[in-house]
A = this chain, B = another copy of it.
Amino acid sequence: MKQLFSGLKIEVNKNLYVKDPESSALGKKIVENSIILIDKIGFENFTFKKLGFEIGSNESSIYRYFENKHKLLLYLTSWYWTWKEYQLVFATSNIEDTEKVLETAINVLTRRIKRDNLTSHIDEIILNKVVVNEFSKSYLTKKVAKEYKESFFEIYNRLILRLKKMILAVNSDYPYAAALASTVLEGGLHQHFLREHFPSLTECNENLSPAQYFNNLVLSTLKHTKNGQKN
């Protein structure tokens, strides 16, 4: 897919930051390099002090943008899912055939990332790696319930519900549309992880993308469960 809305600003939940990182050069540097550093050393080993060192800035300055590293991770992943939502809406607009819409959606959501020139400071390829490796950690916490109420996972939820609708458009009788949509999103990340680290646990590789697997899975299931029949 070509570059879409050049210069368009991706907006995330304002409660995820103390000061909007898009509002200053330092803020952008923090976001840009946090992605690179988290990818490099992993979220557990990532600290604001190390990031400060990387960007030649002070720990205390980073705290003025993000309350803590958990909020920063939520910011980064929200940004990612918002970006994906833009791609999804753009790629599926003006397609008539519901099956083609669904296929396109699955492609957008599970294929390998290509760099987009939407924003100069965020490297979407590296951000995707961060999402694959760290996104689960943003919700597998004791704070989920509270943060869910604060809408910190709103975009991700909305994305799944969009996909759910597309699934139902193909087969309105299918009884597990939300479950299937969430399987595609979560499983999409997981298959990329497996390909990289446990290659014997998936057929996905350089030549066979998770998108192909999920397209086959979703479409065959929907066709088979047509008209109320199960199995």
Residues of A within 8 A of B (CB): 41-42, 44-45, 133-134, 136-137, 139-142, 144-145, 148, 153, 157, 160-161, 175-183, 186-187, 190-191, 193-194, 197-198, 200-204, 210, 213, 215-217, 219-221, 223-225, 230-231
Sample 27 A-B pairs with CB under 8 A, ordered by A number: A41-B142, A133-B140, A134-B140, A139-B197, A144-B197, A145-B197, A148-B197, A161-B200, A176-B202, A176-B213, A178-B202, A179-B201, A179-B204, A179-B210, A179-B213, A180-B217, A182-B190, A182-B194, A182-B201, A186-B190, A215-B231, A216-B230, A217-B217, A217-B221, A220-B225, A223-B231, A224-B224
Q: Nearest Cβ in chain B — how far from A33, in angstroms?
A: 18
Q: Once the chains are docked, how many angstroms separate the CA of A181 from the CA of B176?
A: 19
Residue on B nearest A135 in the bound complex, by CB:
B140
Contact of A157 among B148, B187, B201 (CB under 8 A): B201
- Rounded to whole Å, the gap between the CB of A132 and the closest CB of chain B is 9
Choose one: B136, B182, B217; the contact of A136 (CB below 8 Å): B136
Give the Cβ gap from A199 to chain B, nearest Cβ, in Å: 9
Closest Cβ of chain B to A215, distance in Å, is 8
Given contacts A201-B157, A224-B224, contact A217 B176 (CB under 8 A): yes
CB-based contact A187/B183 at 8 Å: yes
* A193 partner residues in chain B, CB cutoff 8 A: 140
**How many whole Å from A177's CB to the nearest CB in chain B?**
7
Chain B proximity of A5: nearest CB distance (Å): 27
Contacting residue for A178 out of B42, B197, B203, CB 8 A: B203
Contact across chains for B220 and A231 when beta carbons are under 8 A apart: yes
- Rank and list the top 9 A-B pairs by shortest CB-CB distance, nearest first: A220-B224, A42-B142, A179-B202, A136-B136, A224-B224, A176-B213, A182-B201, A220-B221, A179-B213
Contact residues in B for A231 (Cβ distance below 8 Å): 215-216, 219-220, 223
Evaluate whether A45 and B182 lie within 8 angstroms (CB atoms) in the complex, with A157-B198, A203-B177 already known: no
**Chain B residues within an 8 Å CB radius of A215:** 231
In the bound complex, how far is the Cα of B160 from the Cα of A229, in angstroms? 28
Closest to A132 in B: B140
